[in-house]
Amino acid sequence: MTSPDPSPIIDIMDGFRRSKAMFAAVEMGVFDMLAEGPLSASEIASRLEANPGGVERLLETCVALGLLERRGTAFANTEVAGVYLRQSSDRALTGYILYSNVVLYQCWGHLEDAVREGTPRWAQTFGTDKPIFEHFFSTPEKMRTFTMGMHGLGRTTSPAVVDAFDLSGFHTMADLGAATGHLAITACERWPNLHGVAFDLAKVLPLAGEFIAASPARDRLSVHPGDFFTDELPAADLYALGRILHDWGEDKIRLLLRRVFDALPAGGALLIAEKLLHEDRSGPLNAHLQSLSMLVITEGKERSLSEYTALLKEAGFSAIEGRPTGTYLDAILARKA
């Protein structure tokens, strides 16, 4: 009897090594260095003040990963690395990569304990009981790294989310927990009738203001400071929650959905951007991995459309529809009759 091919197991086993190699190259600024043009391993090592042999191994691994390419004795960015792995790129995913390296990678080291106890590993990993978002916003540098991480992913998903439903009948969209405002910005650029409000903590909004100022829809965009759990929500006939609900347990979700429902006029709606689990829980893989990630760092989890529908109906919403977008996030639209 022949044994099954072990390749799927070996591929999974090597997964963290691939991730960490990319994380290290981004953290060390390799892709930004190569934006200037090809460099040899020794030139990069000299700039990094690092061991030439170690640097060469990292660069060669990045070639094998398809992130770098050889140019004679030098190394150069591939097209995908030039777009997404340079911190200076306007489509960079580096913020989320740095967050993954510094936070997620560390917390996932305690996944077994999270599974056994069903609780996040924040205190175990970092030795503090400070709430997770207080940590992310504790310094301007941490806040910018985290917020830009959400921005990078948002740039890849927001166009599909705002195009999943016809939003031409709405007048004002308030994006709650807007971070850089990418969802509101994208919605206003897609739907010329729409005005957008980026609603977030006051210390986050200057970054949103930078991106709004660069948008061709800037005259229809504004910022509004506040906490969506406690402060009055800005007036709107369309609210948006992008990657917000998956952070929280049911009690806080019920509170937030009820606040949104009460603030909406009749005929208004809520647009939700989250990755939806299949109803039979068979996938998609990235949603299940994200749900494990929420286990180790927050009180939240990923949910199926039926789970979100139950929470939305309990808050008073009707005519709830979910649509896959083909991107990292899917879209749900729930209306207030």
Q: Identify whether 120 is preceded by a cis peptide bond (ω within 30 of 0).
A: no
The whole-angstrom separation of Cα 181 and Cα 225 is: 12
Q: Which of 151, 195, 224, 246 is catalytic?
A: 246
Buried b (16+ CB within 10 A) or exposed e, 193-211: ebbbbbbbbeebbebbbeb
Q: Copy the structure tokens of residue 329.
A: 């996030």
Residues 6+ apart with CB under 8 A from 111: 121, 292, 295, 296
Question: Annotated catalytic, 246?
Answer: yes
Which helix (H) or strand (E) is 82 found in, with range? helix 79-84
> With the CA atoms of 43, 47, 52 and 54 taken in that order, what torsion angle do they form, in degrees rounded to the nearest 10?
-130
* CA-to-CA dists, residue 238 to 161, 233, 235, angstroms: 14, 12, 9
Is the torsion defined by CA of 87, 93, 97, 100 positive or negative?
positive
**What b/e string do you get for 144-154 counting C-beta neighbours within 10 Å, with b at 16 or more?**
bbbbbbbbbbb
Nearest CA-CA partner of 62 in 109, 36, 30: 30
Report, as residue numbers or ranges, the catalytic residues. Answer: 246
